[in-house]
A and B are shown apart, each in its own frame.
Chain A
Amino acid sequence: MTRYLASRFAGMAVVMLLVATLVFFITRLAPGDPAAVMLGEQATAADISQLRASYGLDKPLPVQFAYWLKELARGNLGQSIFLQRPVTQALWERAEPTFFLTLFSIAIATLIGVPCGIVSAVWRGRAIDQVFSGFAMLGASIPSFWFGLILMQIFAVALGWFPVAGYGDPGVPLADRLHHLVLPAIVLGVVNSALILRFTRASMLDVLGEDHIRTARAKGAGEARVILHHALRNALIPVLTVLGLTFALLVGGAIVTETVFGLPGIGNLVVSAVLRRDYPVIQGALLVIAGLYVLINLAIDLLYLVVDPRVTY
């Protein structure tokens, strides 16, 4: 057990280090001098060399990388070039809409995906299964930004039920801000429910074929009890993984939906950083989001120990 935990943490540390290395070197792939790119075309040679010095860009690459890692270990993601503030602060300021959007999307995706997946598995091959499986395939084929635009035209522009875009002013009550998230959360919830539906169905089918289900039926347990009590509890464990990973991927993957609905979240920050070539912000966002993914991955593995007594390491 301790050995498992130790190796799991070590593995995570290696992946995190690789993530950090990738993030550092991705931004160095840029053709040309980063300082010149950051300052734009009107920069003088003196400006450029000053910025190079202040970012340590005049030092050899391994030295820069070591310095960058050292600052990272201290929680310093650097300074945004355009926002005049530390990257951590910029990310923190944009966290709220992204956090709530992700949370609501996962809730909607689960509420659609899990029950439909169970129904699909129980009535395998019947019409209802085909309808749900078709829905899952369609959900995986719809571009979220397109779906968002269409919903926005119907429910915000034509019917006026929801605000068209934005997140309300900072002073407005939370409920009002959350009202802005309804449509984008529906978009992401429906699109992501497809994967959860497929996973629940597959996991449920696996479990329904196992011996203990036959035993439960043999001893006369009602079909509802067999499905809800005996099968579902086991079937939902692998679904946990998908839920956790979907959550992590949504934090950064909601970029397009955030843009459609003009939500000032992390995704929006990344897109504007990309358009302005604000490399420290791009680096910081990549790192935080990938780090979250790795952490959630680990958390799920540890959670298995708690929810599934069969799992021992």
Chain B
Amino acid sequence: MSAALFAKLFRRRLVLAGAVILAAVALLAIFAPWLTPYDPMALKILDRLQSPRAAHWFGTDELGRDVFSRVIFGARYSLMIGALVVLISMVCGVLLGLAAGFFRRLDGPVMRLVDAMMSFPDILLAIALVAVLGASMSNVILALAIVYTPRVARVVRASTLVVRELLFIEAARALGISTWRILFIHILQNIASPILVQATFIFAYAVLAEAGLSFLGVGVPPVLPTWGSMIASGQQFAHQAIWLVVFPGIAIILSALSLQMVGDGFRDLLDPKLRKAM
């Protein structure tokens, strides 16, 4: 990743807009305790189900908690879960994909496993895994990382197949550079862009999937204000307090959309040969 590529990337308005929204959401998440007017957990039953007003920008929920503060704190949990899912699935997917793409003998077995795992709809596999592991934040992260690892592996493998045939790899071999060095320095460096593109999309999917799991009641325990669990508990009051559903939903859309805007613009800049691997 060169500075020139980044400059080219951010010259696109859509990418820039996505990056700005994303940065804003991330900053809100990091500085949540200093930015929120109320404690997101503080109950105030007398003020329950108030519509949006000066004192409560996004209104209050069924227990009188400030929705604005909860949405901001929700960014912390939702983004942290998304980031950890991306990190774990990237590490596992890169290892699997490099192995399958580089060592011909491993290609068949690894890719059949990837095919088998990708035969399950994301959310279904995630639900089954959480059901078995037990509903907790760490298990949600683990389950989603397992779900997205095959996707990463597939992209990494396809990109590795392209790069493996390039002349400089042959040159590196002729120079006697070790296989490990070729794999983790030379190849990995050259497939970094498709991996990063995939990371932004998986981040978006993970935020959406976490919300879906929490909504179904098989995700993060409802006491933690994630966007999905806020919509789930707001659902039964939706007919009298639609803001309980609207604001966390907009937060999800904004973060998923901004991630896809960055990823999409990034993908357009990819080397055409590697773009085919996506």
Listed in ascending order, the chain A residues whose CB lies under 8 Å from chain B are 11, 14-15, 18-19, 22, 26-27, 29-31, 137-138, 140-146, 149-150, 152-153, 157, 249-253, 255-256, 259-260, 270-271, 273-275, 277, 282, 285-286, 289-291, 293-294, 297
Contact = CB atoms under 8 A, between A and B. Distances in A.
B212 A274 contact: no
B141 interface: no
A145 B212 contact: yes
A149 B238 contact: yes
20 contacts: A18-B116, A19-B119, A26-B128, A27-B132, A29-B129, A141-B204, A141-B253, A141-B260, A144-B212, A145-B231, A249-B121, A252-B121, A252-B123, A253-B124, A256-B212, A270-B128, A271-B218, A273-B131, A274-B131, A293-B119
Contacts of A157: 238-239
Interface stretch (B62-70, B159-167, B186-194, B241-249): B241-249
Given A252-B124, A271-B127, 6 more contacts: A143-B249, A143-B252, A146-B211, A146-B231, A256-B215, A297-B119
Contacts of A18: 112-113, 115-116
B245 A150 contact: yes
B116 A141 contact: no
A292 to B, nearest CB: 9
B117 interface: yes
B179 interface: no
Main secondary structure of the interface of B (DSSP, over half): helix
B131 A277 contact: yes
B257 interface: yes
A153 B204 CA distance: 26
Contacts of A294: 119
A167 B165 CA distance: 56
B256 interface: yes
A146 B230 CA distance: 11
Which of B116, B212, B215, B218 has the most chain A CB within a 10 Å cutoff? B116
B132 A141 contact: no
A270 B131 CA distance: 10
A26 B121 contact: no
Interface in B110-140: 112-113, 115-117, 119-125, 127-134
Interface in B88-108: none
Contacts of A146: 211, 231, 245, 249, 252-253
Nearest to B211: A143
A145 B208 CA distance: 10
Nearest to A253: B121
A29 B133 contact: yes
B128 A259 contact: no
Nearest to A251: B121
Given A253-B124, A255-B124, A290-B119, A150 B249 contact: yes
Contacts of A275: 217-218
A237 B177 CA distance: 45
A17 to B, nearest CB: 8
Pairs A-B, 4 closest by C-beta atoms: A18-B116, A253-B121, A141-B256, A146-B249
A286 B129 CA distance: 11
Nearest to A295: B119
Contact of A153 (B124, B212, B238): B238
A255 B115 contact: no
B49 interface: no
Contact of B208 (A141, A249, A259): A141
Contacts of B129: 26, 29
Interface string B210-232: 01100111100000000010010
A7 to B, nearest CB: 12
Contacts of A286: 120, 124-125, 128
Nearest to B252: A143
Contacts of B253: 138, 141-143, 146
Contacts of A256: 123, 212, 215-216
Nearest to A157: B239
A19 B217 CA distance: 26
Contacts of A253: 121-124
A137 B121 CA distance: 20
Given A19-B116, A31-B134, A137-B257, A143 B127 contact: no
Which of A144, A149, A255, A294 has the most chain B CB within a 10 Å cutoff? A149
A153 B246 CA distance: 11
A259 B249 CA distance: 17
A138 B257 contact: yes
B141 to A, nearest CB: 16
A218 B19 CA distance: 44
Nearest to A28: B132
Nearest to B134: A31
A137 B260 contact: yes
A249 B124 CA distance: 9
Contacts of B132: 26-27, 29-30
B261 interface: yes
